Structure 1
Amino acid sequence: MESNKLPIIGYACASHLGESLSNLSGQSGATGRFGPPRLQLDSTALQLPYYSIDDRFNELDRTERILFEVIEKALQRSQLSPAEIRRTGLFIGSSSYDLRDSEIVYQQKLEAGDPSAVPMPFTGYNRLGESICRKFDIDSEPFNINSACTSSANALLLAHSMIRQGHYEHALVVGIELYNETTINGFAGLQLIAEQRIAPFDKSRDGIILGESCSAVIIGTRSKTAPSLMLCGGGSCFDPYSITTSNPDGSTIAQTLENALRNTAIDKSEVVAIKTHGTATYMNDISESKGIITAFPEETPPITAIKPYVGHTLGACGTLELILFAEALEQGYVPKTPNFETPDPDLPIIPLNEEIDARDGVYLLNYFGFGGSNTVVVVDKV
Structure 2
Amino acid sequence: MRKQHNKPVRVFVTGMGIISALGDDVQKNHDSLVNSRAGIRKAVHFKSHYASLLPFGEIEMSNENIKEILNLKEEPGYTRTCLLAAKAFDEAVVDSGITSADLSSFDTAFISASTVGGMCLTDQLYEDANQKSEGSEYLESYGPGSHTLKLVERYNINGFTDTINTACSSSANAIMLGARLIKSGRATRSVVGGVDALAKYTVNGFNALKILSENPCKPFDENRDGLNLGEAAAYLVLESEEVVGDKKVYAEILGYGNSNDAHHPSAMSDDAVGAIRSMREAIETAGIGAERIDYVNAHGTGTPNNDSVELTGMTKVFERVPLFSSTKSFTGHTLAAAGVVEAIFSILSINHSEIYPSLHIETDMVDFEDFPVRRYRSGVQVNYVLSNSFGFGGNCTSLVFGKVIK
What's the TM-score, normalizing by structure 1? 0.90
330-339 vs 283-292, greater mean Cα deviation? 330-339
Q: Give the secondary-structure state (helix, strand or coil) at the position aligned to 1:274.
A: strand
Please report the RMSD computed on the Cα atoms of aligned residues, expressed in angstroms: 2.5
Does 2:254 match 1:232? yes
User: Given residue 400 of structure 2, which amino acid in structure 1 is its aligned partner?
Assistant: V
Does 2:34 match 1:25? yes
Cα distance, 1:6 vs. partner? 1.1
Change (3 A) 1:121 1:137: closer
Q: Give the secondary-structure state (helix, strand or coil) at the position aligned to 2:305.
A: helix
Mapped to 2, the partners of 1:6 and 1:358 lie a distance apart of: 24
* Per-residue CA distance 1:205-241 (angstroms, 9 max, x = gap): 1100000001111100132424131111310111122
Match of 2:310 among 288, 292, 309: 288
Cα distance, 1:55 vs. partner? 6.8
User: Given residue 13 of structure 1, which amino acid in structure 2 is its aligned partner?
Assistant: I
Corresponding residue for residue 72 of structure 2: none
Identity rate, percent: 24
Query: Conserved in 2, the CA contact under 8 Å of 1:28 and 1:338?
Result: no
Mapped to 2, the partners of 1:198 and 1:342 lie a distance apart of: 13
Mapped to 2, the partners of 1:240 and 1:120 lie a distance apart of: 34
* Per-residue CA distance 1:35-90 (angstroms, 9 max, x = gap): 333427xxxx9722211113747996333333222211111110112221112201
Cα distance, 1:114 vs. partner? 3.9
Cα distance, 1:100 vs. partner? 1.9
Corresponding residue for residue 89 of structure 1: 109
Change (3 A) 1:311 1:359: same
Cα distance, 1:265 vs. partner? 1.6
Does 2:21 match 1:16? yes
Corresponding residue for residue 379 of structure 1: 401
Corresponding residue for residue 50 of structure 1: 56
Corresponding residue for residue 78 of structure 1: 96
Cα distance, 1:31 vs. partner? 4.1
Query: Conserved in 2, the CA contact under 8 Å of 1:31 and 1:196?
Result: no
Does 2:380 match 1:342? no
Cα distance, 1:295 vs. partner? 0.7
Q: Give the secondary-structure state (helix, strand or coil) at the position aligned to 2:234.
A: strand
Corresponding residue for residue 364 of structure 1: 386
Mapped to 1, the partners of 2:190 and 2:389 lie a distance apart of: 21
Query: Conserved in 1, the CA contact under 8 Å of 2:387 and 2:398?
Result: yes
Query: Conserved in 2, the CA contact under 8 Å of 1:246 and 1:287?
Result: yes
* Per-residue CA distance 1:345-378 (angstroms, 9 max, x = gap): 1234210123333314211001111011001011
Q: What does 1:184-199 align with in structure 2 at a 5 Å threshold?
A: 184-199=203-218
Mapped to 2, the partners of 1:124 and 1:202 lie a distance apart of: 36
Corresponding residue for residue 279 of structure 1: 301
Q: What does 1:68-217 align with in structure 2 at a 5 Å threshold?
A: 68-87=86-105, 88-101=108-121, 103-107=123-127, 113-114=132-133, 124-217=143-236
Gaps of 5+ in 2: 1-6, 68-76
What's the TM-score, normalizing by structure 2? 0.85
Mapped to 2, the partners of 1:347 and 1:281 lie a distance apart of: 16
Change (3 A) 1:39 1:72: same
User: Given residue 19 of structure 2, which amino acid in structure 1 is its aligned partner?
Assistant: A
Mapped to 2, the partners of 1:286 and 1:65 lie a distance apart of: 36
